[in-house]
Structure 1
Amino acid sequence: MQFTMATTETVLHEHRIVVGLDYGTTFSGCAFGNTAQKSIDNIKVIRRWPGKERRDEAKCPSDIAYNAGTYRWGYLIPPGQPRLTWAKLDLDEDNFYENQDHSRHDEYVDVQSDPFAESETSSSSSESSTDEFPLAEGMRHNPMNKSPVDVVSDYLTALYDVIMSNLRREQGENFINKTAIDWVMTVPAVWSEKAQALTKEAASRAGIGQREKDRLFILSEPEAAAVYAISELYQRDISRRNDPNTLKVGDTFVLCDAGGGTVDLISYRVGQLQPSLGISEVAVGSGAKCGSTFIDRNMLKLLRHKLGEERFKILCEKNNGMVLNRLMSEFEGVKRSFGSSYVPGSANYLPMHGFANDPAAGIIEGQFELTHEDLKLCFDPIVDQIVDLIQGQVDAVCDTGASVKYIFLVGGFGESDYLLHRLTEFKWAKAGQIEILNPYDAWSAVSRGAVLRGLEGSLVTNRRCRRNYGTRINTVFDPTIHHEEDAFYSTDTGMKMARNQVSWIVEKGADTDSNTRFQLKCGTTFQKGEKLRRGATLVASDLDVAPHSYRDRSVHDLCFLMADLSMVKEDQFDEVNINGQACLSAEFVIEMAFESAEIKFQLYFKDNCYGQVKTTFH
């Protein structure tokens, strides 16, 4: 059930600053602008980071290092010091090691196609992939055993302080103190709803959006990147309107946001160019955890394969992980430059002090030799997966009868020359060769796009729901649909019923524009004198066609919704007679509104709104 309401977009007349915050798996960045100058050219990227001598870096490492109750972060962490990396992915820890629908990877590439797989006689053959990285203590160092939200909150607290310091330096302390700030924080589109909520909680605990009049919004990373990429292209086209290759109404493009931890795909069609730019989603977005972090993991697996179990364990533990950290820090530069040029027979050398020479294992004079073929073994399984993801999105667009004009490649990993080369050379099945556009400063596209979204409002007129949402119900038994194990007879009507069924409220692929509300209708009876509070569990499934049964493996509990009508006067409810006893009856509605990276729930009773519904994610 659904109906249309007026848009909830708020028109603000007061002057505000908009900050786009891109907290990433490996690096984090920030951009800002203000409502007095909404042009894309007036958006500025923060490039001053504590501990960084060169002041021209668009992002700061997302690492944090705990020691004796204190912590360092980003560039302030000395080379080699044990640290906690990839903390962002821990927010989605329930799904972190799960095989994604679009993924061939868990923690690493599949064993069947894994070039580093151990033989059956290997001492590590009985270990699961999730057992391999606890050895790398220097990279996953959490001596205080902090929760993911605590860790991310600590990092964001330090990041918030630096952002505010940069704003005060740029705009003046008095101006910043009296001017409201809208914070637009981005999250991966593949994030679970729980992970989205945890991200927002960590940001709030860090002080983000907590000053008087400040506000905090959540936006999906690919939508932010698309807003920047298409706006940048649109502005560039203004000066060459007679060019047949310029953007036109009806043009369709695929955006690939390749980051450190996740890769998100989304497709848009240009709906209008005047009086302002408007785009709409063409197909259901896709994505997986296959960002550049997984190249690092394949590098660690390469090390383990070449060094052997015993030496790899020593490497992970040597000097509290400092040797491994130095090696991986050097690998970051090698990874970024891979693909820019190739000299046959060339190799890179990474520091690995304290190990005896063993050329067969790649150890030469205290260095680890990393050949071009070694790098391809680290890159190719991840790049192949990204190609598959893009192909799936291109096919989905073609299935609608549209054609893809461009593929935009953005994100930190989107600046990889090797990835760009592979995509440029690829023939996209139904679509053939497609022009790949890599916008200027693609690394900061997400934070810049988040600022644009905050300044201009949403350019996206409608989105496609990424999964099915519903609730458990009992229903009349149908032998063609239901299983006997779910059958029972109603004590009230005597009818044969089926338990453990699902009523789907929103189907995957449904339009979820800002004017649409989806309804979860609820009814209950209760005793006179009782304060009315009732809960319902929202369930979800990622399948294209939602199953009938709650027992289906794809169906999972998403969150518990608590509707509180305790403030409603008793005479507003209907009286009913149940087994000779006078009781009260209420029918109420929980409305679901889908935003870029959040679901908002509102409680309605007799056409009156009673505020947001308390939500507890499973």
Structure 2
Amino acid sequence: MENAFAGMSLSGPQRKLIVGIDFGTTYSGIAWAETRRPDQQTIIHVWPSNLETSEGKTMDKVPTEIRYTPQGMEWGFQIPSIQSVERHKWFKLGLAGRPAFSPDQQNSPESLTTDYLAALHSHLMYTLEQKLGASILRTTPIEYCLTVPAIWSEKAKEKTLEAATRAGLNERGNTLLVSEPEAAAIYTLHGLDPHGLKIDDSFVLCDAGGGTVDLISYTITQLRPVLNVIEAAPGTGGLCGSTFLNRGFAEFLTEKLGREDGWDSELEAEAMERFDLVIKKQYSPSTSNQDRYTIPVPGIANNEQLGIRRGRLLVTPAEMQQIFEPVVSEVINLVHGQIESSDREIRAVLLVGGFGENSYLKERLRASLDRSIKVMQPPNAWTAVARGAVMMGLGRAQAELAAVGVISRSARKHYGIKLQVEFNRKKHDGGLKYWSNEYRRYEVAEMNWFIKRGDPVEEDNPQQIYFEEYYPVSQGNPKSLSINVQCDEISAAAPIHPNKNVRTLVTLTGNLQTISSKDLARTKTRRADNEWCYRILGYVEATYQSASTQYILVLLERRYDTVTAEYV
């Protein structure tokens, strides 16, 4: 992935628009700001709807749903809530190879994401034109920060970026992928009371969203002039977001009401909307207001055994807890695992995201932790990701606008390349050696790890992956060079030799035809088997960013354009 901000001046006065897009599993949001007014962030909260009004629907986020009709495409609040059969939702999970839970599998997650992001972008441009005017919008560069789950694979992130490109985002500016929990952390840490912070304070940020839960730990290294932090441990996460509560509640409704006269898809859609917008956020066993857990079921006959009276279904605390507990327990286990993986004393757990606003999750988490660890739900937790993405974009556009500096990140896996090296009996497994006729020696496959899991990785300190390749002169000038970057996210210690835990992460391909004949002739050398070869020395320079990686190829001391990267 290319660095979206590579050509931007860090100190230039040029006006820019920074847009943060939180593309979520259940809801999506947009925030934006101008580099000339970085403190004036705007959240888009008016969305197109199916109502016969020009005012639209008012909410900080819009449903991540899409529907195709003979009249065209509908998205978000344009989709009538009573017509749920045709809608596509949760398709974001399909980008990561998870079930998209879509009733119509004819549309791929990639195409659904493209169409949805295109609709989101169109509304963004309409909103900006209304706020700024057409002439200003037309002449002002736009930089997009599109958020993705930190636990996603590089392949899933690449699919998201490709969908954004097809949706037209890159037609107006550059798009940079940023980590959802990192964006949320930057917004949340910036909002903490600075008088209560000190160097070496450590926090766990839990971004509990619709589909994924991402956790990341930070330690404060500097308070002024800018709050600087480092990742205290490799981030973790899982697929235990609030959509899995929705699935559990839908199964509960089907089991309880599926055989009742009058129960249909329209009633189910209304019940799910009540659960999604009200009950899911407010549920807490300690509350005395049980009316919060009633579901409108007009037309269903009274049934004392089922808890139906006057067109309302009462969901008991025990039933509600049965729906919540499996998902909440999984989140709690992830938080405990993140705390244990850090060698620092954690001061607080910060809950953000839509699911992070849930009272029951906060109560259960607080009860499970040591009293010295606070559990906090910061203001604007639902929009923290979009707001933080804008802050990240502002800091990249102009260094002096950075609100929080992430000095280093903790590698989530081992990164390296596989080399064929001379066998060393003191270092290598003798059972893996083989005889090389080309080099007239015993060789063995060895992993050259340039980043190990848990290593601090800095954006301004690119990693260099050195290699040498031999091309027989008899086969003509070499045309291309391919290198497989390997990774291992399972092994605690980086293995010496490739094993079942080591897999190909990305294949990098460089064009060797750009090397001049004169330079190529200088590389001629005899191999150990006496054959003349071109000996190509070089390295790949890898810059690891929030949620993307930039690769630069250096051959014979000459830097080439960003290489082609194909993720596996």
TM range (shorter): 0.7 to 0.9
Letter in 1 for 2:159: L
TM norm structure 1: 0.81
Letter in 2 for 1:61: P
The equivalent residue for 2:411 is 465
Letter in 2 for 1:325: A
Q: CA deviation at 1:356?
A: 7.8
Q: Closer, same or farther in 2 for the Cα pair 1:322/1:142, shift >3 Å?
A: farther
CA contact (8 A) 2:28 2:64 kept: yes
Alpha-carbon displacement from aligned partner over 1:124-158 (angstroms, at most 9, x marks no partner): xxxxxxxxx9xxxxx62336x12211110100000
Pair 1:508 & 2:508 matched? no
Q: Closer, same or farther in 2 for the Cα pair 1:181/1:490, shift >3 Å?
A: same
- Give SS of 1:15's match: coil
Of residues 94, 111, 116, the one that matches 1:90 is 94
290-299 vs 539-548, which deviates more?
539-548
- Give SS of 1:405's match: strand
CA contact (8 A) 2:185 2:388 kept: yes
The equivalent residue for 2:360 is 418
CA contact (8 A) 1:426 1:433 kept: no
TM norm structure 2: 0.87
Letter in 2 for 1:46: I
Q: Where does 1:127-138 land on structure 2 (aligned, <5 Å)? A: none
- Give SS of 1:159's match: helix
- Give SS of 2:390's match: helix
Of residues 221, 231, 238, the one that matches 2:180 is 221
The equivalent residue for 2:511 is 564
The equivalent residue for 1:43 is 41
Aligned-partner Cα distance in 1 for 2:298–2:69: 24
Q: Closer, same or farther in 2 for the Cα pair 1:475/1:368, shift >3 Å?
A: farther
The equivalent residue for 1:163 is 124
329-338 vs 29-38, which deviates more?
329-338
CA contact (8 A) 1:26 1:260 kept: yes
CA contact (8 A) 1:405 1:434 kept: yes
Aligned-partner Cα distance in 2 for 1:526–1:489: 19
CA contact (8 A) 2:47 2:58 kept: no
Pair 1:408 & 2:408 matched? no
- Give SS of 2:454's match: coil
Q: Closer, same or farther in 2 for the Cα pair 1:607/1:8, shift >3 Å?
A: farther
Letter in 2 for 1:43: Q
Aligned-partner Cα distance in 1 for 2:266–2:565: 43
Q: CA deviation at 1:584?
A: 2.0
Q: Closer, same or farther in 2 for the Cα pair 1:478/1:385, shift >3 Å?
A: farther
Aligned-partner Cα distance in 2 for 1:190–1:226: 15
Aligned-partner Cα distance in 2 for 1:72–1:427: 45
- Give SS of 2:450's match: strand
Q: CA deviation at 1:289?
A: 1.2
CA contact (8 A) 1:470 1:504 kept: yes
CA contact (8 A) 2:66 2:79 kept: yes
Letter in 2 for 1:11: L
Of residues 135, 155, 159, the one that matches 1:194 is 155
Pair 1:444 & 2:378 matched? no
Letter in 1 for 2:378: P
Pair 1:541 & 2:488 matched? yes
Letter in 2 for 1:180: P
Q: CA deviation at 1:290?
A: 0.9
Q: Where does 1:517-532 land on structure 2 (aligned, <5 Å)? A: 517-528=462-473, 529-532=476-479
Q: Closer, same or farther in 2 for the Cα pair 1:85/1:395, shift >3 Å?
A: same
The equivalent residue for 1:390 is 335
The equivalent residue for 1:71 is 73
- Give SS of 2:121's match: helix
Q: CA deviation at 1:374?
A: 1.4
The equivalent residue for 1:594 is 544
CA contact (8 A) 1:16 1:179 kept: yes
Aligned-partner Cα distance in 2 for 1:462–1:345: 47
- Give SS of 2:89's match: coil
The equivalent residue for 1:120 is none
- Give SS of 1:140's match: coil
Pair 1:551 & 2:490 matched? no
CA contact (8 A) 1:347 1:371 kept: no
Alpha-carbon displacement from aligned partner over 1:309-339 (angstroms, at most 9, x marks no partner): x859x99xx97x5554333223213212212
Q: Closer, same or farther in 2 for the Cα pair 1:368/1:540, shift >3 Å?
A: farther
Higher strand share: 2
Pair 1:298 & 2:248 matched? yes
CA contact (8 A) 1:347 1:369 kept: no
The equivalent residue for 1:140 is 102
Q: Closer, same or farther in 2 for the Cα pair 1:489/1:168, shift >3 Å?
A: same
486-495 vs 153-162, which deviates more?
486-495
The equivalent residue for 2:399 is none
Aligned-partner Cα distance in 2 for 1:548–1:527: 29
Q: CA deviation at 1:510?
A: 1.0
- Give SS of 1:38's match: strand
- Give SS of 2:47's match: coil
Q: Closer, same or farther in 2 for the Cα pair 1:483/1:67, shift >3 Å?
A: farther
- Give SS of 1:516's match: coil
CA contact (8 A) 1:65 1:141 kept: no
The equivalent residue for 1:30 is 30
Letter in 2 for 1:395: E
- Give SS of 1:282's match: strand
344-353 vs 292-301, which deviates more?
344-353
Q: CA deviation at 1:159?
A: 0.3
Q: CA deviation at 1:587?
A: 1.1
- Give SS of 2:382's match: helix
Gaps spanning 5+ residues in structure 2: where? 1-5, 397-401
Alpha-carbon displacement from aligned partner over 1:68-109 (angstroms, at most 9, x marks no partner): 48321111111132211111111101xx37xxxxxxxxxxxx
Letter in 2 for 1:284: P
The equivalent residue for 1:373 is 318
CA contact (8 A) 1:327 1:352 kept: yes
The equivalent residue for 1:326 is 270
Letter in 2 for 1:170: K
Letter in 2 for 1:327: A
Aligned-partner Cα distance in 2 for 1:171–1:221: 28
- Give SS of 1:217's match: strand
- Give SS of 1:450's match: helix
Q: Where does 1:346-357 land on structure 2 (aligned, <5 Å)? A: 348-350=293-295
Q: Closer, same or farther in 2 for the Cα pair 1:480/1:363, shift >3 Å?
A: farther
Letter in 2 for 1:29: G
Gaps spanning 5+ residues in structure 1: where? 1-6, 98-132, 134-138
The equivalent residue for 2:15 is 15
Of residues 199, 206, 222, the one that matches 1:256 is 206
Q: Closer, same or farther in 2 for the Cα pair 1:345/1:158, shift >3 Å?
A: closer
CA RMSD across the alignment: 3.0
Aligned-partner Cα distance in 2 for 1:324–1:473: 58
Q: Closer, same or farther in 2 for the Cα pair 1:273/1:359, shift >3 Å?
A: same
Aligned-partner Cα distance in 1 for 2:424–2:309: 71
Identity of aligned residues (%): 31
Q: CA deviation at 1:495?
A: 3.8
Alpha-carbon displacement from aligned partner over 1:553-577 (angstroms, at most 9, x marks no partner): x322212111222111022121123
Q: Closer, same or farther in 2 for the Cα pair 1:323/1:481, shift >3 Å?
A: farther
Letter in 1 for 2:16: R
Q: CA deviation at 1:348?
A: 3.4
Pair 1:339 & 2:284 matched? yes
Aligned residues: 542
Alpha-carbon displacement from aligned partner over 1:461-511 (angstroms, at most 9, x marks no partner): 111111111223334557898778755322234544445x53322111111
Q: Closer, same or farther in 2 for the Cα pair 1:584/1:481, shift >3 Å?
A: closer
